[in-house]
Structure 1
Amino acid sequence: MNADALKKITAFRKKLHQTPEISGKEENTSALIKAFFEELGPDEIIEDLGPYGLGVVFKGKLKGPTTLIRAELDALPIPEFGRHRHKSKNPGISHTCGHDGHMAIVCGVGMLLAKKRPSKGKVVLVFQPSEETGMGSEQVIQSDNFKKIQPDFAFALHNLPGYPKNEIVLKKGAFTAASRGMTINLKGKTSHAAHPEDGLSPAEAMCKLIIGLEKLTETIPEFTLVTVIHAQLGEISFGTTPGLAQVMATLRTFDNEIMKLLTCHAEKLAALISEEHGLEFDISYCEEFEAVINDPVSWELVNDAAKEMKFKTKHIRTPFRWSEDFGKFSSQTNTLLFGLGAGKNQPQLHEGHYDFPDDILTTGISIFYRIIEKLNQ
């Protein structure tokens, strides 16, 4: 990109950073992206890819594959503490995961495509809502307008603090973990605190469940992790023996089938403990992410692109424990999610001081565009 184009993209990234919106509320962010591309004159802008999702289409004249490049629209409910001038103007909300940078990179790709359309097939730049809750990619895929896209390949990146700036982080197969939030409600019977024998307190069952859930990992040889993130017993009432309890936990695996097994074990444990103590129980789930599975063909494309552009690469052996809802696209087409180093000394993601480094924008733009050249030129 020339200096003027890079300056425009950098300024746009900071504008996005100042106006973050949480998952499911990205109306203004979507409008900013749409206005940005309307000036570039793409072949089509597909709206209603889930709430506020957009697809920006650049078509070639010849038959060829459809290449999807994805960025995320949403921010986090995290206060920002940095000292930069472009701090969030929305109190308690910030782009501390770097989605503003991801959007800016894909917008930069759009600027290049506007100057030189693909020769064959088409490229669709998708701006997806609600990545942080695990709902967005499913909403995009299930929307009627996704039928207009039907990608042959899908690519995305995530910035990675702790890795050298501009380093490309790659792995075949599972790249990030599957995860799901599990809520278990235990129901007994309240009584006066002076007569606990007249009630049915779930206190002991709750304690057993907290310990037992985290020990489930010992029963499965593959990587599993259960983290109890919240528990509540009764209400704050010193005259009452509690009758309700709630335990919330996050389940993680590197494999979608192992997630099913871990979930089954957790449900059986909840049922066993509840029956032992004469309690009723129910279970619900939220923030469900599938593992991102990187396709070998897509891996070769990105690995070759990085080598051709002389970017340093890091080939990791173990998937990241965090989750990314790009995994839903893995069940639809050939996908690849790769990492882009954001600097060894950067604050970590989801931390109030994190701000996407603008000096890695060009690397992200360049490698996406080289992938497009290899598939659609």
Structure 2
Amino acid sequence: MDLMQHDFTNADIAELTAWRRKLHENPEISGEEVRTAREVVAFLADTGPDRVLTEMGGHGVAVVFDSGAAGPTLLFRSELDALPIEEISDAPHRSRVPGKSHMCGHDGHTAILAAMARQLARRRPASGRVVLLFQPAEETGEGAAGVIADPRFPEIAPDYAFSLHNLPGTPLGHVRLKPGVVNCASRGMRIVLSGRTAHSSMPETGVSPMMAVSRLMPALTALSAGHFSRDDFALVTVCHVAMGEPVYGIQPGQAEIRCTLRTRLDERMADLMAAAEALVRQEAEAGGLGNAVDYHEVFLASLNDPDATVHLTAALDAEGVSHDEAELPMRASEDFGRFGKGAKSAMLFLGSGEKHPQLHNPDYDFPDDLIPIGARIFLRTARTMLG
């Protein structure tokens, strides 16, 4: 076999496509990926990995192909989780689980890593190790952090970490890739304002959060500043507001606001959080309200390391895959950025088609034609770096 040969047979493509569709039919959302993880372990059993770690950071699976010779450890990551979205589709492989579906393409990303495993089984790397990480809970921002915090992670800690995400609106198979920031830092901010209920006929006897809520929503969004291409970029989006009970006889005594804070860089996030919290305290004090703030779904900014990006770029060129830097960085967030704190990491974005439904749309479906393309890119990267 040629050193760079990693073509897939028709049987490979058929089996990988059928398996991807099986995953699509049986989605599990963040934190619930028990069956999906078992599917991965079972499907890859005949590839003979040197080691399989399960329940990594939750329901994650790490599959290791070790050369036994000195060399770097390369980690390639996919995601296991689906979304709490009702699928709208006539496809035979549409979701069988009400209210849950793979509307982000994580089933396809998982199939790409499974395709890699087939070829690594046919020829181990000549040096170092390849770790295929099937990560849980990407959508909530908890998965990467959980994997890294797992006490077994040092056993597979990578020197380089690579990942991809499919990208609707980009020509099928075309790649977006650049060094530096590629995904924003973001976090969900939950604000609770506490007053005192009253009979709706005697509102003066209570303390309502209504005025504070009405002032906070525009004040928070007004913290948005800067052009996205600049490091001072900040964006606040109000996502949910709830106040009182859905009745007519009670003036509300409590309210909750949920919003997303977004910045290009992690350093800018601290300033945005401080400004938002100051607004909350100001309005709460003016209205005689108690207040509390907590944060959820925390994503660090994803930065592509220059050296790791060079390796992916070389693989794209060797495989004849067109690429450019257009549309990067993205406003969206991605928890893969956490792997860049301990390794040289880089993520590429693989086009799903210019007219393909967008991510998180109820009619989205991962294009199966991307499975061999994504696998070829990653395999070329691994073969070039490890032999």
Unaligned runs of 5+ in 2: 1-7
- In the alignment, what sits opposite 2:104? 97
Structure 1 stretch displaced more, 81-90 or 310-319: 310-319
1:173 and 2:183 are equivalent in the alignment? no
Number of residue-to-residue matches in the alignment? 377
In 1: Cα distance, 2:9 partner to 2:151 partner = 38
Please report how far the alpha carbon of residue 237 of structure 1 lies from its aligned counterpart in structure 2 after TM superposition.
2.7
2:145 maps to what in 1?
138
How many Å separate the matches in 2 of 1:374 and 1:267?
49
Q: What TM-score results when the alignment is normalised by the length of structure 1?
A: 0.98
SS of corresponding position for 1:64: coil
Partner of 1:12: 19
**Which residue does the alignment assign to 2:223?**
216
| Residue 219 (structure 1) shift | 8.3
- The secondary structure found in structure 1 opposite 2:369 is helix
Alpha-carbon separation, structure 2, partners of 1:38 and 1:57: 12
Aligned partner of 1:277 in structure 2 is 287
Which letter maps to 2:307? V
* 2:298 alignment counterpart: 288
Using the alignment, how far apart are the partners of 2:194 and 2:43 within structure 1? 52
Q: Structure 1: which 5+ runs fail to align? A: none
Structure 1 CA distance for aligned equivalents of residues 376 and 249 of structure 2: 65
Answer yes or no: is the 8 Å Cα contact 1:169–1:314 preserved in 2.
Answer: yes
State the match for 1:112 in structure 2. Answer: 119
Q: Does 1:323 align with 2:330?
A: no
Q: Deviations over 1:34-76 (max 9, x none)?
A: 0011111111101121111110000113200000000100001
Establish whether residue 81 from structure 1 lines up as the match of residue 88 from structure 2.
Answer: yes
Question: Would the aligned equivalents of 1:60 and 1:121 in 2 still touch at CA under 8 Å?
Answer: yes
Range with greater deviation from structure 2 (87-96 or 157-166)? 87-96
- 1:229 is aligned, of 208, 223, 239, to 239
Say yes or no: does 1:337 pair with 2:337.
no
Contact 1:67 1:154 in 2 (8 A): yes
Residue 317 of structure 1 and its aligned partner are, at CA, apart by 6.1
Give the equivalent residue in structure 2 for 1:346. Answer: 356
Distance 1:72 1:238 in 2: 46
Cα distance, 1:318 vs structure 2: 3.9
Whether 1:197 aligns to 2:204 is: yes
Q: TM-score scaled to structure 2, two decimals?
A: 0.95
Q: Distance in 2 between matches of 1:6 and 1:219?
A: 46
What is the CA–CA distance in structure 1 between the aligned matches of 2:375 and 2:226, rounded to whole Å? 44
Question: Match of 1:108, as an amino acid?
Answer: A
Q: Which amino acid aligns with 2:79?
A: E
Q: Residue 218 of structure 1: CA displacement?
A: 3.8
Cα distance in structure 1, aligned partners of 2:57 and 2:334: 17
Equivalent-residue separation in structure 1 for 2:143 and 2:328 (angstroms): 26
| Per-residue deviation, 1:181 | 0.6
Moved over 4 A (4+): none
1:240 partnered with 2:247: no
Equivalent in 129, 133, 144 of residue 136 of structure 2: 129
